[in-house]
Chain A
Amino acid sequence: MRDISIIGIGQTPVGEHWGRSLRHLAYDALHLAMKDAGTERVDALYVGNMLSGEISGQAHIGPLIADFAGLRGIEAVKIEAACASGAAAFRQGVIGVASGYQDVVAVVGVEKMTDDVGSRLTAGLASAADADYETVHGVTFVALNALIMQRYMHEYGLSKGDFANFSVNAHANGANNPNAMFRRAISKETFMRAGVVANPVSLFDASPMADGAAAAIICPTRLAREYTDKAVHVLASAIATDSLAVHDRKNPLWLQAAEDSAHTAYRQAKITPAELDFFELHDAFTIMAALSLEAAGFAKAGQGTRLAVNGDIALDGKLPIATMGGLKARGHPVGATGMYQIVEAALQLRGEAGKNQLPHARLGMTQNIGGSGATIGTHIFKSSE
């Protein structure tokens, strides 16, 4: 297997792009990434996307986007793994390059969500869950997270306030990210006052749905120098799965696929969690941030919120998370989110994170969660120094 590096990155602002369709958004991010890498050709394109069929009435978006981006003819495939589509697409790119089948590969995560609103979008998102045994009972994506959070608070004796800092931290970091959907810091009081969406999940526990696209160009590390002097090394790439339905899990309060993919990634990268300088985790809901920290080895079961409460997750803390706003403030364009995480990690490792730049960003990890935890992709990156 060949070592791999990221040689180009690009992203569109996350938000409501009324004037840009799915293909335009994907092109915007791809174009920026290819320009950043200084290349006009790639051997293959992997597109991470969840809802193109449901929302835009468009399947088969691999060739659509390749052609639209001036890459007609290349291998181009959509990869779908619900909200983990981004990480899954990136991993396909890694497999393509590592195997030697392809040299220069583009990966783009793209989601167009604002072309549909209300109950149909809710139903589309819920299709990541078990259609016959979860969604048929009227369970939504928010409700599944609420069911997990409710039990978690009950079992570990936690209150709403224990989750506040996940949201406060994300919003503080999003304020300095020009591509973030929400660019205003919030107070703990704002978090506590927010309206309930599905008890105990309130508005500031949940990340906003939005449009967006983010892309990266990868190639073998030995070729990377021909393109750039700020290549970011891909040290690990792993995906693990769990039961689709929450009720079928051995322990509904434990993200087994996060633990499994993180441990595979640590082994590949030959590092321990303590060596990581930051962690772009999947804070689609505050409860997912807590569970992700626990499963990745940063806290014991039931203690994930302590890292938020004591400030470990802040930019100047022991393990900064959501350094560019996370899903909560940057926004959560579902199938694109995993690629936003990777692009943001690359910005930190290249020293280009602006006001949110970490002083010691050498090793970073991203973790992208599909549905309520059935697909989880973990990647580890290292700066070129």
Chain B
Amino acid sequence: MTVEIARHWRLNSQRYSLIGEECPACHYKIFPPRDVCPHCAEEAGPEFHFSGNGTVFSHTTVHTPPEGFEAQSPYTVALVKLDEGPMITAQLTDVDNGAVEIGLPVEMVTRKLAEQGDEGLILYGYKFRPQMAMA
């Protein structure tokens, strides 16, 4: 269990506040953080704070969830294109399943992601909801 917690704990700054990197060579904005820029293969750079705003690139609704996600089912997952460039995978929240459109502007919020393992470890991290001005 401690090993499992460490695996998630080390990702907390990314998961709670979308902290990535900016490549010092090509200025590509990187999320999640890597050791090497996926764009130009230079060593990845200093921290970069993403705004948390983006648009829905694609979406679907999960009806047969994996272990740990049963309680939330059905739920909507999406590929979100962040305004600063990179794409990430996340759940959408505060939306009706199936009522999502490609191109919907969304913003990041922190929510419960999953309950894992027999000891009920609860994971928190980013999800996205429709941008408030749009709601």
Contacts and interface: CB of A to CB of B under 8 A. Distances in A.
B2 interface: no
B83 interface: no
B26 interface: no
Contacts of A133: 32, 88-89
Contacts of A154: 58, 102
Interface in A184-209: 196-201
Given A198-B60, A198-B62, A136 B79 contact: no
Contacts of A134: 89
A136 B61 CA distance: 16
A134 to B, nearest CB: 5
A38 interface: no
Contacts of B89: 133-134, 137, 139, 147, 245-247
B120 interface: no
Given A138-B72, A140-B65, A198-B60, A147 B102 contact: no
Contacts of A114: none
A137 B57 contact: no
Given A119-B70, A150-B59, A252-B87, A136 B65 contact: no
Contact of A138 (B77, B86, B87): B77
Contacts of B102: 150-151, 154
Interface in A121-139: 122-123, 126, 132-139
A197 B58 CA distance: 16
- The listed residue with most B CB atoms (<10 A of its CB), out of A132, A137, A139, A252, is A137
Contacts of B75: 138
Given A147-B79, A248-B38, A136 B123 contact: yes
Contacts of A135: 66
Contact of B91 (A137, A198, A199): A137
- The listed residue with most B CB atoms (<10 A of its CB), out of A154, A245, A246, A247, is A247
Give the contact-size bracket for chain B.
35 or more
A267 interface: no
Contacts of A380: none
- The listed residue with most A CB atoms (<10 A of its CB), out of B67, B75, B91, is B67
Contacts of B69: 119, 138
B125 interface: yes
Given A143-B77, A147-B77, A138 B64 contact: no
- The listed residue with most B CB atoms (<10 A of its CB), out of A122, A139, A151, is A139
B102 to A, nearest CB: 5
Interface string A229-257: 00000000000000101111000100000
Contact of A119 (B58, B66, B72, B87): B66
Given A137-B89, A138-B91, A147 B60 contact: yes
A199 B61 contact: yes
Contact of B62 (A136, A143, A148): A143
Contact of B38 (A120, A140, A196, A243): A243
A132 B61 contact: no
B11 interface: yes
- The listed residue with most A CB atoms (<10 A of its CB), out of B64, B66, B79, is B66
A312 B91 CA distance: 39
B113 interface: yes
A196 B57 CA distance: 21
B114 interface: yes
A143 B38 contact: no
B68 A123 contact: yes
Interface string B71-100: 010010111000000111111000000100
Given A138-B114, A148-B58, A197 B78 contact: no
A248 B81 CA distance: 11
B63 interface: yes
A198 B78 CA distance: 12
Contacts of A199: 60-61, 98
Contacts of A142: 62, 64
A146 interface: yes
Interface of A: 119-120, 122-123, 126, 132-140, 142-143, 146-148, 150-151, 154, 196-201, 243, 245-248, 252
12 contacts: A132-B11, A133-B32, A136-B125, A138-B91, A138-B113, A147-B59, A150-B58, A150-B102, A196-B63, A197-B63, A198-B62, A246-B79
Given A126-B66, A138-B66, 16 more contacts: A137-B89, A138-B65, A138-B113, A138-B114, A143-B60, A147-B79, A147-B89, A150-B102, A151-B102, A197-B64, A198-B64, A199-B60, A200-B60, A201-B60, A247-B86, A247-B87
- The 8 tightest CB contacts between A and B, nearest first, are A146-B60, A123-B66, A151-B58, A138-B69, A247-B87, A123-B67, A119-B67, A122-B66
